[in-house]
Structure 1
Amino acid sequence: MEKVPMTKAGYEMLQAELKRRQSEERPAIIAAIAEARAHGDLSENAEYHAAKEHQSHNEGRVSELEDLLSRAEIIDISKLSGKTIKFGATVKLVDEETDEEKTYQIVGEQEADVKAGKISITSPIARAMIGKSEGDSIEVAAPGGARDYEILSVKFV
């Protein structure tokens, strides 16, 4: 069974989603199915079929969340340190062509959110940064062609 690395915040976010799906969405879907059943003939009952589809989607996500949480390897970033980039590092980069600065934290796949500055450990840019240090240059294959970045700082917060 392969462990899934994630931060404590990411683990808590998945737990909250699981709880919401089990305690709020599941009962609401069951009620919707019961109401649709009361309308009669199920073969031509669009509400019933939509509610059953919603139930299937919700139960699939519940199973996925239970699996992820059971395989979670929570990494406490506050206990990490060092100069090399690894999971949990917050890295400040500068694009060597445009001089645009970007800051990313390397997190687990489930908690990645580029708009919030959190990138997945499996993303091309994170893979290029792993093992590197402040002052190193990296090349990242991007859809528009390869991009070169210089690592300005590495922190664990």
Structure 2
Amino acid sequence: MTDRPNYITLAGYAALRAEYEQLFGTERPQLVEVVSWAAGNGDRSENGDYLYGKKRLREIDRRLGSLSKRMKAARVVDPAQASDRTRVWFGACVTLIDDDEQERVLTLVGDDETDTGNGRIGWSAPIARALRGAAVGDLRRVTLPVGEREYQVTAIAYPD
């Protein structure tokens, strides 16, 4: 894990917390019960409930450890409290126009909240890094896997 803070919105942190609580408080205890029951059935080498249950427990424990680390490193930021709303910072909803005059609307969120299909890009993504500090009218060049692109910032909005 890096020393960089894990910026995240209130909603993103709540989603991490909800997943942690669901795994730890509901799914894991139920699975422990099933594995315990399956272990009491005798031969464990061909016992599907036991083998699958143990495998799933390891997956859950790994995910719980990962979630715990992410929540511990989290720095919750409320984009509605942004002091400089004229520039692109964490939580900004940015409207861009690219070289081909295609408009794109992106929201800069925490890396744990990324959903590129819905225009939510992680704070450490290449395009998000290029947009940091930009104002309306600024041109930003971004190197993407498909090549270099230039974007113009046409609007910046923050939640209320």
- 1:148 and 1:91 map into 2 onto residues whose CA distance is 14
Deviation string, structure 1 residues 27-61 (Cα, Å, up to 9, x no partner): 22112212322332112333322211110110111
Q: Which moved more, 1:65-74 or 1:14-23?
A: 65-74
TM-score normalised per structure 1: 0.92
For 1:147, the equivalent position in structure 2 comes to: 149
Unaligned runs of 5+ in 2: none
Is 1:86 aligned with 2:83? no
Is 1:111 aligned with 2:113? yes
SS in 1 for 2:108: strand
Q: How many residues align?
A: 156
Report the Cα offset of residue 26 of structure 1.
0.6
SS in 2 for 1:141: strand
- 1:55 and 1:34 map into 2 onto residues whose CA distance is 12
Which aligned pairs between 1:5-154 and structure 2 lie closer than 5 A?
Answer: 5-80=7-82, 81-97=84-100, 99-154=101-156
Runs of 4 or more above 3 Å deviation:
none
- 1:137 and 1:44 map into 2 onto residues whose CA distance is 62
Report the Cα offset of residue 2 of structure 1.
4.4
Alignment RMSD? 1.5
Which amino acid in the other structure matches residue 94 of structure 2? V
Identity across the alignment (%) = 31
Which amino acid in the other structure matches residue 54 of structure 2? K
Deviation string, structure 1 residues 38-87 (Cα, Å, up to 9, x no partner): 33211233332221111011011111112211221111111113212111
